[in-house]
Amino acid sequence: MSQDRRILTRACLASVVLVILAAMPGIGSDETPRKKLIEKARRFVKQLASGDVDQAVSQFDAKMSEVLPPDNLRALWRNLESQAGSFKSMGEARVSRAGGFDTVYLDMAFEQHALRFKIVFDKSERISGFWVEPAASTTGPSAAPAAYKPPSYDKPDRYSEERVSFGEDPWIAKGILTLPNGVERAPAVVLVHGSGPHDEDETIGVNKPFRDLATGLSSNGIAVLRYQKRTHAYQLRLAAEGRISVREEVVDDALAALKFVRAHPRVDPARVFVVGHSLGATLGPQIAHEDGKVAGAVLLAGTARDLTDVLLDQLGYIASLPLPNQAQNQKMYDETLATLMKVRNGELGDDATVLNVPVTYWKELSTAAERSLEIARGLSCRLLIVNGGRDYQVTKKDYDLYRRELAARSNVSFKWFKNCNHLFFAGESMSTPQEYEKAGHVDEAVIKYLVKWITRSK
């Protein structure tokens, strides 16, 4: 379970497929001219777009050259265009400095998505980190970020917020604790993120599903702790170290959060729940087991299947959509399937990559997912499995597996929201990657059901 992995370029598995990471940062310099860095960043993108990958790689530092050689970088760009559409243009750019690193933020226009590139430079002006993430804009990369608008069920007069920190050095976690007004000892929830470097709101573009959950539950008498994921708060430090396990990425901070919230004077320590989303849901049983004191665990869109099978289902679904890049999407699926078959047949070792992600990473996640079902069978606390009928990332296959294996247990409940996608936003037709760019909120029906389940006596 605790096998180390390198932080490399990776398509987020049970989160938004568009988030791609690649980072091995170096050390920045206060004297680096901003204009020159922006010019270097734009040149790098132009080389990628024109297919001059060898020149693009020549700007990398030693570690980036090792983990992202020309073939991998070429595949990254191909995968990116298959998901986001053809590259159109570059927009606004800015430079920031944090933790000793100089980062150029470059807004990008693709055919189907507005993205933001984050290109990190070291003191020698070599590229030492590269991130791609959705831009927080619904009208294009040059537009001002769209503002989050609270849902109707958010009643700010019914709760208060506290900025909190917990855990131990060097991984102090920071977050927000929402406390219902007029409740002396409230039941409490700790929210655990999906895959990717999420902030405390699990922000995806303009959407903030964890903020929706927190304010919706706290408006109904339930305290909620949400926090910055370690891979968000300490992204550059982790990337510089080059190694992190699933335990370090998810489990340790979740356990620290449960311990912290349980000790709060306005929380009932006997009624503390862990609520995981996506990867957080997959690891929910393990977190509940290791904590040993939770009143219950809620798995929102979790999976107990081999993660490479889940990945193939996702890619196959995307390839089936009537999109302009359908041929590229199909090619990505075919190439990924071929690589996985070679891995499974022993033709490729653990040093191979699938979608630029080491096989060791996929194996670690898959082991954790499959083990979570075994752990769930032995939990004595209450367990709630929740899935959405419009979710193409974690589907009815996953829900049915939980039902088949856990339905006989009296402490386990199941809930299917047929109109919800992976973020539990309601809609009509089957979800697509593009839907995540549109403003939405966690369905109020989900909020109400969680409130009822959490507050019932047993």
Residues recognised as catalytic: 278, 391, 422
CB count in 10 Å sphere of residue 292: 10
Q: Are 451 and 222 in contact (CB under 8 A)?
A: yes
CA distances from 415 to 289, 301, 374 (A): 22, 11, 20
Q: Are 368 and 284 in contact (CB under 8 A)?
A: no
CB count in 10 Å sphere of residue 88: 16
d(CA 260, CA 325): 47
CA distances from 10 to 58, 73, 453 (A): 21, 12, 35
| Helix (H) or strand (E) segment spanning residue 174 | strand 173-180
Q: Are 403 and 441 in contact (CB under 8 A)?
A: no
Which of 250, 294, 248, 300 has its CA nearest to residue 273? 294
| Helix (H) or strand (E) segment spanning residue 88 | strand 87-98
Listing DSSP states for 257-307 in one string gives HHHHHHT-TTEEEEEEEEEEETHHHHTHHHHHHHH---SEEEEES---S-H
Query: C-alpha 123: how far from its chain's center?
Result: 30
Q: Are 394 and 302 in contact (CB under 8 A)?
A: yes
d(CA 239, CA 235): 6
Q: Locate 68 and state its tokens.
A: 């992202």
d(CA 161, CA 211): 12
d(CA 21, CA 361): 14
Which of 131, 121, 138, 37 has its CA nearest to residue 76? 131
d(CA 327, CA 334): 10
CB count in 10 Å sphere of residue 409: 14
